[in-house]
Structure formats: structure tokens, C-alpha cells
Amino acid sequence: MANIILASSSPRRQELLQQLGLDFQVFSPEVDETVLAGETVEQYVERLAKDKAKVVLTRYPEAVVIAADTSLSFAGKIIGKPESKQHAFEIWSALSGHWHDVFSGLCVAKSSKMLSTVVKTQVELQVLSHAEMEKYWATGEPVGKAGAYAIQGIAAQYIPQIRGSYSNVVGLPLHETAQLLESIKAFR
């Protein structure tokens, strides 16, 4: 297969992609992550994944690009990364004791073809006390994470169950990534 580029500087996405046994390079593109008026979380994450792939393809037109974007949805709202400690506490207070949805937009593209999909996983977050929120915030782990938590880290202790792809919640749905990579091979 042609040179593969992961359009992300996320160490978690890099670790996940390594599980597929692929050789790849990393290039993290700059894209506008503003939510458009009326845009659903599914539309949002897919658009961002496609936008990231397009930016990388303009720089590396011979490459196969893997791009993803992950966000949460709860009560009809898109929940991204916390902007502050207070914002993280607001997110956790809303999610505490409830199920929420984690969506990843995934795009595998090359100059002749762009394939994309959206993967949904449901996650249950236990009821969190203020002391648990303080303790978790103090670890530094929630910073820069959609929903202000990392399921693959310390936050695992607060998540009783999920329905769907674990790797999706981490940030790159591996099953779907492998499928799209296989499909893109057919296009010249």
C-alpha cells in the first residue's frame, strides 16, 4: 500500500493504529473545529475527519490518509474538550449517572477516492462525587480529552459498561479503520 499518513498528533490514535501493524507517518493538520449551525454530532465529526484528510492530501497527494475526529453527545448537545476545570466539572455533573454517546468520524482517503463513516459507542458514567471529580482533575488526564475523560486511563474506574467499540471511545475505531483501508485499496 502507498505511504500511509495519520492525520493526528494524538498519541492514543497512534498507539491504536500501530495495533493494525501498519507503517505510517504522522501529520497533524489545522482545521476549523467550529460547530456549524444545525449540525448534528454525527455530521460534525464526519466533516472534521474529511476536512483533516483533505488538508493532508493537498500536502501529500500520493499518500493514503487516515483521519478521525471524536466527540461526545449528551441530551442533544455536542460535548468536546474541557476549556477549564469548571467546564470539566460541568461536563462530569451532566454525564454523572447517565449513558452518553461517543461518536468518531473516520475518513480514509487518497487522491482518487474518499471513504468515510461514523461510529457510535454508548458509555455509562457512574455517579461522581465532588471529591472524585477533584481527585480526577488533579491527575491532569482530563485536559484535552473529549468529555474530559480518558477511558483507557484512570477514568476506566468510573465507567461500569460500554455498548460498542472500545477503540472508538479511545479515538480510532479499529475495525472500521481496517475495513476502509481494505476498501480504498481497490481504487487506483
Q: So what's the pLDDT on residue 80?
A: 87
Q: So what's the pLDDT on residue 2?
A: 65
Helix H or strand E encompassing 123: strand 113-124
> What is the rounded distance in angstroms from the CA atom of residue 15 to the CA atom of residue 77?
29
Q: What is the pLDDT along the chain (188 residues), one digit of tens a residue?
A: 469 999 999 999 999 999 999 999 999 999 999 999 999 999 999 999 999 999 999 999 999 999 999 999 999 899 989 999 999 999 999 999 999 999 999 999 999 899 999 999 999 999 999 999 999 999 999 999 989 999 999 999 999 999 999 999 999 999 999 999 999 986 65
- 115: helix, coil or strand? strand
Q: So what's the pLDDT on residue 30?
A: 94
Q: So what's the pLDDT on residue 183?
A: 94
Burial tier of 142 (Cβ tally within 10 Å: 0-12, 13-18, 19+): buried
Nearest to 66, CA basis, from 77, 76, 53? 53
pTM of the model: 0.93
Buried b / exposed e over 64-83, threshold 16 CB at 10 Å, is bbbbbbbbbbbeeebbbbbe
Beta strand 64-74 with 99-110 is antiparallel
Decide if 69 is catalytic: yes
CATH numbers and ranges of domains, the chain: 4-184 (3.90.950.10)
Residues 6+ apart with CB under 8 A from 155: 136, 141, 142, 149
Q: So what's the pLDDT on residue 166?
A: 97
**Catalytically annotated residue among 23, 32, 69, 101:** 69
- 132: helix, coil or strand? helix
Beta strand 64-74 with 77-79 is antiparallel
> What is the rounded distance in angstroms from the CA atom of residue 181 to the CA atom of residue 150?
26
